[in-house]
């Protein structure tokens, strides 16, 4: 027998309202309403879905509905054209489709190898060297 990809799939359907903590492995699709905390791998908030969360920690999240609260995505935050995200977000990669709304305090985590002080020093030294080479017309 070959290897099977048994990724878990969980769905919170349209008529379902959940208050509390959700912990999920695999993919979680939210079509209903969630109020509380979420920890998971891949979370998808469908167009009619909504989440109000004080602490959401995921690997990847796609928002087609509404998200309000604090969100940490260790890989990516994707906001679809029908999506709206407000609150405080932290992510590595961001994709916002035309029409999608991101109205939040934003912190982008990158894997930059240069410390912040070195980046500023490099920028300052390169701008100073350009000043000496300017020519007036």
What are the structure tokens assigned to 33, written together? 């309403």
pTM equals 0.76
The runs of H, that is alpha helices, within 60-110 are none
Q: Is residue 137 domain-resident?
A: no
Domain encompassing residue 70: 9-131
Q: Is residue 29 domain-resident?
A: yes
CA distance 48 to 65: 5
Residues 61-117 have pLDDT tens digits of 999 999 999 999 999 999 999 999 999 999 999 999 999 999 999 999 876 544 444
- Spatial contact of 107 and 87, defined as CB atoms under 8 Å apart: no
Q: Which pLDDT value is given to residue 61?
A: 98
Q: How many domains does the chain have?
A: 1
Q: Is residue 75 domain-resident?
A: yes
Q: Is residue 4 domain-resident?
A: no
Q: Is residue 64 domain-resident?
A: yes
Residues 121-133 have pLDDT tens digits of 444 444 444 444 4
């Amino acid at each position: 027998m070959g290897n099977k990809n048994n990724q878990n799939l969980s769905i919170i359907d349209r008529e379902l309202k959940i208050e509390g903590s959700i912990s999920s492995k695999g993919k979680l699709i939210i079509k209903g309403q969630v109020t509380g905390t979420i920890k998971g791998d891949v979370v998808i908030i469908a167009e009619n879905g909504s989440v109000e969360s004080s602490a959401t920690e995921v690997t990847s999240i796609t928002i087609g509905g509404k998200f309000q609260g604090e969100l940490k995505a260790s890989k990516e935050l994707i906001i679809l054209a029908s999506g709206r995200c407000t609150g405080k977000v932290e992510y590595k990669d961001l994709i916002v489709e035309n029409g999608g709304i991101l109205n939040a305090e934003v912190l982008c985590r990158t894997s930059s190898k240069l410390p912040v002080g070195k980046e500023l020093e490099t920028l300052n030294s390169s701008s100073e060297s350009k000043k000496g080479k300017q020519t007036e017309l």
